């Protein structure tokens, strides 16, 4: 093997991983289903936000709360133990007593 052949062999050996990687990259780009990605994105945007639970209300601070600072309207006091519960609940979170 002459020096030119050895140099050529080295250059080819160093280029093969790059070519293989580029082949994999462009292969993956060709495999990507753009319609499916768009469908998933549209489904994500259409998904309704369940804000009925009191925890979900705290997770969206950007939304202006309709009840505002009057926190007493959104809570109900348990008749058995006096704990504050979210309005509309059936049972107390603390003593599990029934709330009217």
- Contact residues toward Zn ion (CB under 5 A) are 78, 80-81, 83, 92, 94-95, 97
Q: How far is the CB of 37 from Zn ion (least distance, A)?
A: 49
Looking at the Cβ atoms of 57 and 93, the one nearer to Zn ion is 93
Q: How far is the CB of 82 from Zn ion (least distance, A)?
A: 7
Q: How far is the CB of 43 from Zn ion (least distance, A)?
A: 41
Helix, strand or coil for residue 66? coil
Q: How far apart are CA 14 and CA 18, in angstroms?
A: 8
Q: How far is the CB of 86 from Zn ion (least distance, A)?
A: 13
Q: Where do runs of H (alpha helix) occur along the chain? A: 3-31, 34-46, 54-59, 71-74
Residue written as token pair 């990687």: 21
Show Cβ contacts of residue 50 under 8 Å, excluding neighbours closer than 6 positions.
56
């Amino acid at each position: 093997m002459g020096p030119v052949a050895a140099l050529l062999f080295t250059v080819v050996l160093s280029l093969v991983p790059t070519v293989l990687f580029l082949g994999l990259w462009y292969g993956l780009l060709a495999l990507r289903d753009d319609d499916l990605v768009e469908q998933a994105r549209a489904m994500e945007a259409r998904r309704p936000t369940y804000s009925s639970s009191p925890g979900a209300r705290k997770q969206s601070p950007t939304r202006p709360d309709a009840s505002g600072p009057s926190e007493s309207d959104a809570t109900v006091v348990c008749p058995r133990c006096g704990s504050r519960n979210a309005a509309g609940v059936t049972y107390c979170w603390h003593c599990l007593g029934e709330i009217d």
